[in-house]
Structure 1
Amino acid sequence: LMLRRVADNSSITSAAISGGIGDFSVKLYKGFTSGGDREVELFINGVSQGTSTAFDDFDEHVFEVNGINIGGDIVIQITNTTSKQVIIDDIHWTSFDGPSNLPPTIANITQTPATDVMPDQSVSVSADVTDGDGTVASVELNWGLSSGNLTNSINMNLAAGDTYTTDTDIPAQAGGVAVYYAITAEDDLGATKTSPEQSYTVVLLDPTLVLNPTSLSGFEYALGEGPSAVQSYDISGFNFVGNGSVDVTAPASYEISVDNQFWFNSLILQYADGELIAQPRTMYVRLKAGLAAGDKNEAIAHEDVNIGLVELPLSGEVTSITQVADIAALRQGATDGTVYQLTGEAIMSFAGSNRNQKFIQDATGGILIDDNAGIITTEYEIGDGITGLTGTISVYNNMVQLIPTEDAGAASSTGNAITPVEVMFDALDASYQAQLVKVNTADFNTTGNFAQGTNYTLTDPTGNGVMRTQYSNLDYIGTPIPEVTQNITGVIMQFNSTLQLIPRSLTDFEDAPVTDPTIYADPMVVNGISYPVDGGPSNPQSFMISGINLTSGIAVTTNSAYFEISATGGSNFVPESPIIINQTNGVVEETPIYARLKAGLELGNYSGLVVANSAGAENVTITLNGSVYDGTAPGGGLETFANLDLE
């Protein structure tokens, strides 16, 4: 008989047959010559009993299903499940007159994932198992890697309804591996049923070479130096066929290594069992020494019959060097990556613990060496001379920095004395960056112990400044903040607009008790003394006056046409000038002075001065800023000062 394609619902069905059925067999042949798998399914009384193994040849194939064991009248149906014609012959079955107990029925076998099982995926299986004349006692899945040899077992438990699911998955297998499995169910009376064998083949993935990262850049050194700093990348291989090796070839300007010690133009990486041996393998790369100046944009080649050619792009540069004679010229360098060489000698004044930073200076200025990459390996001491420094210029938060490109070698001199530049806070500006300076008669505005990474406000006779505990290797971290006036030596770092004094050690602090008559004001600038048009006078604001070593009281005076001062604030404000603050035993404790903007002023911004003086002491000047603003306009106020009263 010939069964046509499944689209024609091609099947053969018997009439009712008495005597039951025990075992069944039928011979299958390929019909005609067109290619494609042939397969049939057996139904007894409308229930599937199994599917034949697919074939596409002209051999004779016997489809057997044993142990069906269904008694009574039966109907046999054989159905073509493919689109190809199948010839069937010699249909044979045995009767079944055994006990009335029937084995369980196994249907709707489902695997997850159903198709395209990947090498890293395990597979779960479920099936509907029922027993018409009893109960299901156990369900088990047996699997293996060859047909008919299903030696591995996985228990299946009832999940929901009649559906049983594997307790654990069939483990993940390598690409191209075929997995076979069948389900066996047993009822409470010992009758068993085994499903037809099922199978799937794990997807065989294309061979792949993975590079991480996929490119490298920033290889650089100055002409006459080299090799460059080393960079690295990792190589992993997957789904290689057989055993072999990947050829890794460096381009002309580069060299490669597997251990960062021995360098080669080419290397071989072996693979086995589908992967590189001991992957991921780390490859080290650098620019060769002795190259001519110019861009070096090339690629490392990785080749094998599995993967073809895979390239890792490289970019680098051998730069020419611009020589400068001193630090002043170096600080003016461009920040475009140009490599500069300082031909003159610079003296190291301090080395910080962060980022391998060093402060150097010569007669023309100072600069901070920021060596986060650790290019400079020579150890230097304070007072060592360094000649021939090379690097690029960068600016970080307004701090000019030298980023070294090469170790400068041994000190060109040692034991050089560095005399700090004496400077007051009002004169401190960016020109002092990285230089050693000394600020005299400075007082801290707080007490306690020094903590690392903290800014502290200092006051000298000219105003306020900042001392910073920048580095963890400073020996005064954790020690008490001085409570007496200090002369403080340190290097200058700038952060945005803030100039920071960084003492190098405890020896940079020197007690400097004030013996001369001295007046202090805090703050020395008072802003925001304002009122709307026709709303004057303003609310008072205050500043503090104090003094030590005085021989007479302090007179606080203003000649401003716009501002007035009082010894009392709020509703008790009484304009007077001068205000006399008497001293006791040479001391004036902090005393508030109140200032306000006079009534009746026109729309505009105003500035004025208050002077505090005492016999033998330097005058202290306090600046007052305020405005009369349009109270009906959004935001109020003005942008520029039009009325300056700076007497």
Structure 2
Amino acid sequence: MKQNFYTKIFYLLLLFWVVGERAMGQIFTEEFNYGASNGALTTVGSANWTEQTAGSPNVQYDASGSLSFGSYPTNAGKATFSNTGQDIYRQFTDVTSGTLYAGFIMKITAVNTTGDYFAHFSNNGTFFHARLFARTKTGGYELGLAKGGSGGTTAVYNASSTTLTLGTNYFVVLKYDFGTNATDVADDVASVFVFSSSVPLTEPGTPEVTATAGTGTLTELRRFAIRQGTAANAPSGEVDYIRVGTTWADVTSAAATPTLTVSPASLSGFTTTVGSASSSQTYTLSGSSLTPASGNITVTAPANFEVSTDNSTFSASLNVAYNSGTLSATTIYVRIAASAPAGPVSGNVANAGGGATTQNVAVSGTVNPLTPALTVTPASLSGFSTSSGTPSGSQTYTLSGSSLTPASGNITVTAPANFEVSTDNSTFSASLNVAYNSGTLSATTIYVRIAASAPVGPVSGNVANAGGGATTQNVAVSGTVSAPFTPVYEPFAGTGNLNGQNGWNVHNGTPNQVQRIAGNLNYSGLETATGNKIQMLSTQSEDLNKGFTSLTSGVVYSSFVMRVSDVSKFQTNTNIGTYFLHFAEEAGTTFTTFNFVARVHIRQGSAANTYQLGVLSKGGGTPTAANIYGSSPQDLAINTNYFVVIKYDFATQNSSIFINPVPGSPEPTPTFISTFGTSTPTDIESICIRNSNTSGVGTGDIEIDELRVGITWAQVTPPNTSPVINVNPASLNPFSTNTNTASAVQDYIVSASNLTSNLVITAPAGFEIKRSTDATYASSVTLVPTSGNVPNTTINVRLAASNTNAKILIANITNTSGTLTENVAVRGVVNATLANFPDTPKDQLATPQTYTFSAVGLSENLVVTNNDNQNYSLSKDGTNFVSTLTFTPAEVNNNNVTISVRFEPKSDVNGLKPVNLQHSANALTAIVSTEGKQLAPLSIADELAAQTIVFPNPASKFIQVQTSGAYQITLQDVTGRKVGEFISNETINVEKLPNGLYFLQFSNENVRFVKRLIIQK
């Protein structure tokens, strides 16, 4: 009996030694627990396994079941390898001396005669040690081993080694001994042990195979590898439950009993009042040898208690995750739940799972009856910030009460000096009352802010919440009042470089590119623009900033009017575009952080000649288009003024963009709110204009005017109280048409604000107009304001079809309301076409033609030329013909002048002679066109024919022929048949001939010619 007792003590001490050694020296355990789906091990187990050499097939994870051996775990999958393909490894902490072991369950399913290695240690992808081989042996297969190093790569087989059976599970221990010289391979030894049933607790004295050949240097081993060698030599098989360690026990010991431990085992003395959770107490939960290797321990509180792992979020039960069979010491918080009834409460917190016995923690305490109580959450508010004369942004706390007396009444909330309170975040006061009923005050939000009257400097105090028979509860408040913020208004006065003017500085790019140019961008309802505007071009790369009072809290706004004339240099609307305006936390000539907020992005729109605006709240991260433009960005038209407001909120760290808000109205819902970005600014000190153009593509051509920065909506959206008429554009391209024909249509947009009478639009003579929504044109259009405002209205303009003569017109379309007028400059030409001149022989003079020309608004002489001076000439009086005419403005403005044109062909080439008569002044040219046909010079026959008279013609009875000489005359019909013959200067009777066309042929010994005769009775 005594001997058995000592034997038990010995094995118990031995077990403690083994477990202790395992805990100290085990490096990793691989149970191949990667879920229910098969796949490449480097894919499903990518967190542990890495490809060493590529190949096909991959080492596979087989989820269908594990390899069993003795009492080792069998609750996961396994790895399968073939005789060729991918090589993989699992890395572990470097082992540089002593011994290194790997134990695993192995099943070889196929071998070859020559054999090849399928597992080994390595320090990198090249130097392999303790290579484990398998090859054919009569009746089965045998294992071989190569130590590694120079001369140590050939497998050593033991002639008396065990004959192993294919398809049988064996437990294999691979060992590498670093020897006495840890870096010298020469004294290192590699061994392999194979077990078919149980594995001894201590390392046997004789391995299955020992390999000692090999020299060289080895500083560490850090990988265990599974290899798929050459198809002709290598084995195929399966491995499972791989353990790597520095002792025999690390890789051979059987699985320990799953255990959960709690400390302490009881918690008492909890106390609270009805409706409130108690303070928490804690115990520590840990576990070892848990199964499966990864899972959860469920912690369940008894009735009237609740548990938590962070002392913040409590619940009736929770899960605590563990991995690798171990749950590290974890603090569990326990408290009485707010729902617990008055009186004593107790029970057990159950800790269950991981295959271990459930461990209980006894808990007990007392719930006291209610007393009148007020509760404030949180108990302090800090970080208020504003500038003198402006209330700060508000912060909130929640006020509630229970068991209050009397049953109905008020809780008085009193702000300290320099603060004010509110229940609706709109109406603030020094104090207020919050009503309660039935002894209960439901959770009520109280808004607190620094008052506008607070002095510059730090301010603090307590908001007192008193009444209902409860102890007064204070909420500590503190903040800072800075010097008043000075709003920024930038009218861009003057012309030339923006850099260096009115506080603008270049902080990036090439200086002196952005220019102030003449003109303004007005927006209907916004205060009338002053100064000039700036122009940014697609060829520029200058970034500028204008500083202002540093802001660290609240909100900051900026507004501006912008106009885009060309979108071709913007990125397309499949991109995020780039930004051209933003706030920054720095100012001056040198930026170091480049921390920009409320970045206004621009890109092409979805339709032609449109663009889109977006906003990005902060830098950091990689935003998508949706982060900047939202889901349905608005297409904006080119050559149109848009009013844009951006906003950055320090509290939410969000940025907003408003497109075309109504000036002077309350802040509306933003067009888009951006929440993206991680780089939060410490303050905001400047407004920046940015050019971003790479090879002419980026922010493109943009004009900006009326830039403002403020800390209230009203500061950046001042309404215009004076009448304003806006036209865009202020001039149209030259028109051109022909007489009696309307020209092509051009448009402009008119809007107005603060009008006291109708807006009357009047076209100058020769033009006609209409609203784009109207069907017919007229000489004037009347727009009726609504509340003094006329929205953007498109006006169609064209030269009228009523222009009946050639002319040049330079005038204005007037847009008038009361004494206020805005003009749209128009100019155009009306071309005319004269009748063709009759065919005229060379050097003969055709009868001249005349036409009328007029003009309006000429400031230069009108010069009339023609492009064929050889054949045509011009005259003011119809008598004196020249190649060029000149009229003064006084001669033609508002006056019709008559111009004569003469055709006298003198060309060496016969045929048509078209001509354009060009009327040019003030960079406009009106054309009057005509043409004549030049015939050959008259011959002798032609001259004689011209001197011969046949009358009457047409004739009915008799004709007489008078000639200057004697001729034989033959009368022929249209077929050439002779119907009569006579001599000249006699009367001929044609009464018997039928009606029709006849020819009289005159001839003598010198000449022959023909005259026509028509007989008509």
* TM-score in terms of structure 1 length: 0.31
- Rg larger in structure: 2
The alignment's TM-score, normalised by the length of structure 2, stands at 0.21
